[in-house]
Amino acid sequence: MMNYDSPYQALKESGIRDLVREFYRIMDSSPNYAELRAMHSSDLSGISENLGDYLVGWMGGPQIYLEKYGSVCMTGPHKSFSIGSKERDAWVSCMYEAMESLDLCDDVKMMLKDPIYRLADAVKNR
């Protein structure tokens, strides 16, 4: 039986920030994600903060990203990048690796995996 009703309750802001840090650490170091990495700026600190802000709200916590930027729609911020199935799958797989690497508990992974995939699919623009 799960004893929380949102991923935010389980992970708290600090756990979500850890997940984002691990996600970009893997993207930055694994040859599997070299192409995905190359689409990003050399300095990942800005996007780490933004993705953390975003995911805290998306996972059921305070709406930090919404308050800063006025919208949680992810289409706009990605429109200058060409994102097809290959890029979506690389992004999602990097995120799944980060979840495994931090050994998130199974019920939290169950809550996150399909919704994360659907979100990344919505960001796809070709």
Give yes or no for a contact between 56 and 62, defined as CB atoms under 8 angstroms apart: yes
Q: Does residue number 113 form part of the binding site for ligand HEM (CB under 6 A)?
A: no
Residue 66 contacts ligand HEM per CB under 6 A: no
- Give the binding range for ligand HEM (CB under 6 A) out of 6-14, 16-24, 102-110, 114-122: 114-122
Count residues near ligand HEM (CB under 6 A): 20
* CB closer to ligand HEM, 40 vs 109: 40
Q: Does 116 bind ligand HEM (CB under 6 A)?
A: yes
Query: What are the tokens at 86?
Result: 């290959």
Q: Which of 19, 59, 83, 98 binds ligand HEM (CB under 6 A)?
A: 83
The CA distance from 40 to 35, in Å, is 9
Q: Judged by CB under 6 A, does residue 40 bind ligand HEM? A: yes
Taking the mean position of all CA atoms in its chain, how far away is CA 72?
13
Cβ(55)–Cβ(12) under 8 Å?
A: no
| Alpha-carbon torsion angle 99, 105, 108, 113, nearest 10 | 40
Q: Work out whether 98 is an interface residue with ligand HEM (CB under 6 A).
A: no
Contact indicator for 23, 99 with CB cutoff of 8 Å: no
**Strands of 1-126, DSSP E:** none
Interaction with ligand HEM in 3-32: which residues (CB under 6 A)?
A: none
Q: Which residues bind ligand HEM (CB under 6 A)?
A: 36, 39-41, 47, 50-51, 54, 74, 77-78, 81, 83, 87-88, 91, 116, 119-120, 123
